[in-house]
Each structure stands twice: as structure tokens, then as C-alpha cells.
Structure 1
Amino acid sequence: MLTTYFTRPATRAGYYAGPVGPYLDPFTDWLVKRGYCKDAIRHLLLGAVGFANWMQVAGGDLTSLHEGVWNTFCDHLAKQGRLHGTKGQHSIYWRGAKQFTEFLRAQQGIVATKAALAPPELVAAFEHWMQIHRGVKPSTLITYRQHVMDLLSSLDPQPEQFNATKLHGFILTYAKRNGRAVAQTRVKAARMFLRFLIATERCQPGLDAAIPTIAEWRLASLPRYLPPADVERVLEACNGARPIDIRDKAILLLLARLGLRASDVASLKFDDIDWLHGTFTVIGKSRHEAKLPLPQDVGDAILNYLRQARPSVNDVYVFITAVAPWEPITRNVVKHVATRAIRRAGVEALSFGSHIFRHSAATGLLRQGASLQVIGEVLRHRSIDTTALYAKVDIGLLQQVIRPWPGATSC
């Protein structure tokens, strides 16, 4: 199989005779299936060969990789000036080694570069409990993980030793050094972890009440949104014929027409779409399932992507990365698509990213006469208080919802 990438027989024979030899053909086949082109595969093979040779010299074993080994290899590349390319990107040696370790992990169950990041048994039990009893998404649990591990390392690895004073100080110290948003995330993570400990009888009851609340003044700011004309300018600026343009147009229409979250778009699967009835299912926060209408232009854009631009990979997710390795996109990709589209259209916005389309969809509905209850249902808010933010962009609606000052006449 290497004959496609290396023409010299001596070169191929040397690679096959080395420590990476038994893995070369299946690794090459794995790269082909992931959508890499010929030149990219050749470079990645060189990186894999270099990594395996380094492992042999270092006395390592390809069947027992862990983060410490990976970090040492990166240090080795850095000392040789081969960690990064001329433009600051990771070199072919790094990328080849990275893909090779991913291949080993997929084929042999080897935990390669992130072994040391595996959560402790107690944290893993907490994450399992959150998924079963709270329906929390894995992406949220990953966000919580570091906060929970910090709590255990800062206080005591034995939860039965926790007390209200320690917990209170842990949160306040962090809040003084960090912004409000990230401090609130730590509060949520710590509180949920304590509720898990209490439910499983691992700590004293009532300790979750010791976690202080970070002050937040709801509805204190205006929603940042784009006027309808600017939304259309963004969509019109994404009419290219390249596969990535076709994909991005479908993503942007889902954001603009339906106000979906970035995670909603990234997690859309083929089974979620009911083409016959023109609907699709979204599984949002806390595993809440909702069926939404599929507008004609949105459906047409998705269908065009599936027919003209989607890579031929066997995956249940609708949207796939535009370059190899071909795999489902993440919510960060969706955010990047939205930011890039706004900038390309030359639209001046107070903020960028995918969420501005969600705010834009809501304010557009409001100005078309939709009630806050209807908007809340479209955006799948669990509380009308969340939707009330959009009342601030409509003076007429504000006059209906605010209470008159006692003894004063109405304006």
C-alpha cells in the first residue's frame, strides 16, 4: 500500500522493517477513510515513522502510550525545531504522530495523548450520575470536570471532610480572581457535585447550601441582535459554490430562521429530520426534546448540502468538517461559521458568533407581533423569565408588562 506514497523500494522496506512496520498498512487505510489526500497521507506517514522511531530509542512501547510520553515527544520536537512550521502551525511530524496515536487508540483501545486527563473514579461517578439523573450533555460535564477536580485538590480528596467554611472560601477565592461568567460556572459545578455527594451519602447533608451565589442582575442588558436586513445580507454573502460554502449556508439558515443554538446544529442527525412532514427534532438542554418545523429554504439548503457537498462518510451526523479528517462538526465550528459570515458580509455587529442569530430571530418575531410566550416556545425556553429579556427591545410591549408607580398616572 505504501507504493502510492513512496516510490523508492528501499524507503518502503526501511519503514516496514522499523517499529511502525506492522501498523503502516492499516494506518494508511485509516487515513484514506478519513478523507486525507495523497500528499497529506504521505506527510502523516512520515510523522508516524518518526514518532515510532523516537519511541524505540527512548525505550517506550507503542501499546502503552500516555500523556507523559506525548509531552516528552513534543519537547523533543521543540528542541530540534520541528514542533511548528514556518507560520506557527504544528509541523507534519507533530500532526503525523498525533494522528498515529489516535489511530492506535481507535484500533487497540490504547489511551494515547490524554490518559493523564482521565477523571478520577469519584469524578467519573459524578458524571455518570449527572447523565442518568439530570440528562446533562457530555460537553457540559467536560466543562464541569476541571472545576470539580480543582475542588477536590483544593479542599480534600475525601468529601466527608468537607465543611461549609472550606466550601465558601473555595468559591470566594476563585470569584475574586476571575470574571462573573466563569465564576458562575464554578458555582454550578460545585453545587451539582455536592448534590451528587449528598444523594449518594458521601458527605454531610445540606452542604450544597454553603456554596455562595454569584450576584447576577437578570435583564440588566439589552439583547445583541442583527436587524432583519443585516441577517439577509449575511445569508446572501454565503452563496459560493465550494463545498464549505454550501455547508455553511445550511448552517446559517438553521441559525437565522429557527434561532437554534450552536450545539443544536452540531448535534443534528439524519434520524432527527422528518422529510415527509417537514419537521425535525432537536434535543436541547437537559435532554429536552422538541419538534420544530423545517422551513422550505432551510430544508432545500440541507438537501443541497447532502447531495452536492457532504463528504461520503458513514456517519449519523448531518454536518461534517470541510477538510480531513472528516468527522462531525462541533459547536465551536458553528460559532466560527457564524463569525466568519458576519465579517464577510461587512455587517457591523455588537457581538459575533452564532448566538446573535438566536437573539435576532427572537427580536424579529417580537416586532412581527409574536407574544413572549410564543417566542419562548420557539426558542425552547423553560422559563418565561428567560424570554422576558426580549421585551426590552419593544417599548410598546414594555409599557404593557411594567407596573405603574403607585399613585402616578400612566404615560
Structure 2
Amino acid sequence: MLTKLFPKAHVRFSSLPLLGSITDGFSEWSQQQGYKRSCCRILVRTLAHIDAMIRQRGRSTLSEVTREDLQACRPANSQDDRNLAGTVHALERYLDAHALLPVPQPSTPTRSGVLLADYRHFLKEVRGFSHSTVTGHLRTVSSFLDQLGYESAPSQLAELKSSDMERFITHLGKQHCRGTLQHEVAHLRGFFRFGAASGWLPPGLDAQIDTPRLYRLEQLPRALPWESVCALLAAIDRTTTMGMRDYAMLFLIATYGFRACDIRTLRLDDIRWRQGEIRVTQRKTGQPLVLPLTDAAGDALVQYLRNGRPQTPFRQVFLRLRAPLGPLGLTGVNDAFGGCVKRSGLPLPFTGIHCLRHAYALHLLRQGTPLKTIGDLLGHRTTESTCVYLRLAIEDLREVALNLPEGCSVPLVSEGQP
């Protein structure tokens, strides 16, 4: 591969004192990861600079190179030298994949780390929380311990005061809305109950935190007008690789009401072409959902799979288009939606992709689809989850208003009268 990238100068890179032995393998691996030819050339050229920087640190062989040596080559700000930062990151992943970096020695656990590890085990094994829920709880508790100074003064936790909790909640209130703040308070309450049950916190601390007041159904679902959804889909350029992928993702959401996490984890085996079905295991509920594969959805998928999807061993349907190739990240679907909105120039009031799911539900409701059917299509476990869309059917709500009985007059309130 190296000779194809540099037909005349390949010896210059293969003879590098430290990294010369891996240069050819690194260039081939970079191409397999989806880097373009021009990017592969930049990566290999930058290896010479990294080789010199590592030798300045006193390393004479590749076996002596450590992760710390690579991190020392990385610029403090990746934007100062993007080629160097990207090459260091790619080289570290290559060395990890081929077991060429020494295994890091386990560091001495900190006080906070030990406490959080115990709490993680409790949340996962006793409470049965999912990985994402455990991560959210630990993030809040870790921030609270940092602000409390638990690492340097562990007695602060045993001597916890209400003023300490209020100061942390006030700090969070400046960053989050009431809904998010309510979750953060719930995380703290759970941690305090865990401490009380373990014996290193006094009982009753969880009752001393006041939670933000949220009223049930105080907000309407954020649904786009169906005309705006159609205009957004029509504005996507389907002649490009990114356009084919984004159109297929957004079309599936607008057609089936899938969540972004369902799109991100959709696998090739979930599309049953012969049976004409598409199968999704909902990440939120864990329940399987099997729906008919419409002709339009099948056409959008076929165009992307044949002409836009990279040829990789990954089984997920929708992949990253930039190197390194792989499944979409947690925000990949939402980022794609934001890019489509920006390129379309449409004045859409909402920026989250979940508004497409709400628009789909409202569209079905206005077509006269029964509420139970909408709930089944959306994968709702209870009818109560679907009833929130009834509040958006304004025209239907106007029709159920009763006329005043004959002879009944509405008293008018005179001006100035309370």
C-alpha cells in the first residue's frame, strides 16, 4: 500500500527509525478505516514528524513507545495542527488494534472512584438500571462529590449540610431547565438513600431537597406541520452519499415514527426483504416492533445500500461517512437532521429530530387513525402515552364543543367589575 501512495518516496517513510516497520501496515489500515487516498498520504507524511518527536523523548525502539509519548506529541489545541492531532489519534488506535502499546498499569483508586464503583454496582445489580441510566446517575453524583471536595476532605460527606445540597442545586439550576433539574435531584436523592442504607450517611437527607415543580401535560408535544416534513424531505440532495443516507433515515422516522436510537441501532438483518417487513427492537422499551416495509421506504433503503453505504463488515444499516468508518454515534441521527434543516433553509421551529416522530403521530391522528392503532405503531405500552397527541388535534377539539342551550345567555362582565 505504501508504494501505491508514494511510488518514488516510499523508502523515506519505511526507513523511519521508530515507526518505519509499521508504516506500510498503518497506511493499509487507514484505507480500510475509510480514509481517502489524500488523507492517507497526509497521515503517512505526519508519521515522520511524530517519529522525530518521540525520539526526542529518548525512545529508540517501537517497543519502548508508550501512550504518554503519543499524548505528548498531540498539540494542546487540536485546531492548532489538525493534521498532527488526527494522525496521533489514528496512530494510537492502530497500535491498540495490533497490541503494540504496553498495557497501562492500573492506577491507584481514588476515594471518589471507590465510592462511585460501589454505587454503580448497586444501581446495576440491585436497582437493575440500564447502562445509560447508571451513567446519568454517576455523572450527577460525581459532580456533587467534586463540588463538595470529597477527595481531599472525605469528612465533608459525613457532615453534609442542607446548605451544601442547596448550593449544588443552585449551581445546576443555572445550567438546566426544570425537567432536567428534576432528574438531577432524583439522582441525588437516590445517592443519599444509598448512603443511609450503607450506614455512612444519616437518614432523611433525601427529604431535605426540594424538587422543581412540574405539572403533568404542561407542555404540548413539539410536532412539525406535515407540510414542513414533506418539504424537508424534498429538499435533501439525494445525489450525494450523505444525502442518500440522511434521506433514508429521516424518511423512516417520518414513515414509521421510529426514535433516533432505533434508527442508530437498526441492523441489516432487521430488514426482511422477502417478507416485506422491518423489525425494530425498541431501545427505550426493549419491546420488538414489526411493521410492513412500504415500497417508498424500501426504495429509499435500496438506493442508500447500493450507492451510499460504505462496504464495511459492520451490520448496522446507517454508518458514519467520515473516517474512521463505523456505526453512528449517540448524536449522529440528530446531527444529520440538524444538517438537513440548515441546508434546506426552511424556518423550522424545532431542532430536535423527535419532532418528526410527533409529526407522524399527529398526521395519523388527523387522518382518522384510531388511537389504539397509533399507539401500536409508535410502540407505546399504554394508551396514556398516546393521548398526549389529542391535545394537538385542534380542529377535532373544536368539533366536540357543545353549543349553549337555547335561551341561555352569557353574562357580560362590565368594565372595571372584578
Structure 1 pair 212–52 and aligned structure 2 pair: CA distance change class (3 A): farther
CA distance, structure 2, for counterparts of residue 215 and residue 306 of structure 1: 48
1:153 to 125, 146, 152: 146
Determine if the alignment matches structure 1 residue 216 to structure 2 residue 214: yes
Offset at 1:391? Answer: 2.3
Contact 1:135–1:287 (Cα < 8 Å) also in 2: no
Offset at 1:43? Answer: 1.0
Alignment gaps of 5+ in structure 2: 402-407, 411-418
SS for the counterpart of 2:67 is coil
2:247 to 246, 249, 252: 249
Contact 1:171–1:212 (Cα < 8 Å) also in 2: no
- Given residue 79 of structure 2, which amino acid in structure 1 is its aligned partner? H
SS for the counterpart of 2:145 is helix
The CA deviation string for residues 42-94 of structure 1, in whole angstroms up to 9 with x for no partner, is: 2112334433432332347865425x97377323xx6xxxx536xxxx52111
Higher relative contact order (CA 8 A, sep 6+): 1
- Given residue 256 of structure 2, which amino acid in structure 1 is its aligned partner? L
Contact 2:74–2:84 (Cα < 8 Å) also in 1: no
- Given residue 222 of structure 2, which amino acid in structure 1 is its aligned partner? R
CA distance, structure 1, for counterparts of residue 82 and residue 56 of structure 2: 21
The CA deviation string for residues 321-358 of structure 1, in whole angstroms up to 9 with x for no partner, is: 12322111124221122223234444321112311201
Structure 1 pair 65–383 and aligned structure 2 pair: CA distance change class (3 A): farther
Determine if the alignment matches structure 1 residue 84 to structure 2 residue 79: yes
CA distance, structure 1, for counterparts of residue 337 and residue 72 of structure 2: 34
- Given residue 296 of structure 1, which amino acid in structure 2 is its aligned partner? D
Alignment correspondent of 2:84: 93
Give the 5 Å matches for 1:341-352: 341-352=340-351
The CA deviation string for residues 261-280 of structure 1, in whole angstroms up to 9 with x for no partner, is: 21211111223333343131
Structure 1 pair 169–105 and aligned structure 2 pair: CA distance change class (3 A): farther
Alignment correspondent of 1:324: 323
Contact 1:171–1:186 (Cα < 8 Å) also in 2: no
- Given residue 106 of structure 1, which amino acid in structure 2 is its aligned partner? A
Q: Percent identity?
A: 28
Contact 2:19–2:51 (Cα < 8 Å) also in 1: yes
Structure 1 pair 286–394 and aligned structure 2 pair: CA distance change class (3 A): closer
Alignment correspondent of 2:74: 73
- Given residue 268 of structure 2, which amino acid in structure 1 is its aligned partner? F
- Given residue 162 of structure 2, which amino acid in structure 1 is its aligned partner? T
Structure 1 pair 185–45 and aligned structure 2 pair: CA distance change class (3 A): farther
Alignment correspondent of 1:57: 56
Contact 2:244–2:300 (Cα < 8 Å) also in 1: yes
Contact 1:365–1:375 (Cα < 8 Å) also in 2: yes
SS for the counterpart of 1:366 is helix
RMSD over equivalenced CA pairs, Å:
3.8
Structure 1 pair 33–71 and aligned structure 2 pair: CA distance change class (3 A): same
Offset at 1:386? Answer: 4.2
CA distance, structure 2, for counterparts of residue 171 and residue 321 of structure 1: 38
CA distance, structure 2, for counterparts of residue 92 and residue 247 of structure 1: 27
Determine if the alignment matches structure 1 residue 269 to structure 2 residue 270: no
Give the 5 Å matches for 1:2-401: 2-6=2-6, 7-8=8-9, 10-15=11-16, 17=17, 19-59=18-58, 64-65=66-67, 70=71, 73-75=74-76, 83-84=78-79, 91-108=82-99, 120-124=113-117, 126-127=119-120, 130=123, 138-139=131-132, 141-155=134-148, 156=150, 161=158, 165=162, 168-169=165-166, 171-180=168-177, 181-194=179-192, 208-238=206-236, 240-277=238-275, 278-285=277-284, 287-382=286-381, 384-395=383-394, 398=397
User: How many residues were matched structurally?
Assistant: 388
Alignment gaps of 5+ in structure 1: 403-408
Contact 2:53–2:73 (Cα < 8 Å) also in 1: no
SS for the counterpart of 2:98 is helix
Structure 1 pair 367–129 and aligned structure 2 pair: CA distance change class (3 A): farther
Offset at 1:214? Answer: 2.4
Offset at 1:172? Answer: 2.2
> What TM-score comes out, normalization by structure 2 length?
0.77
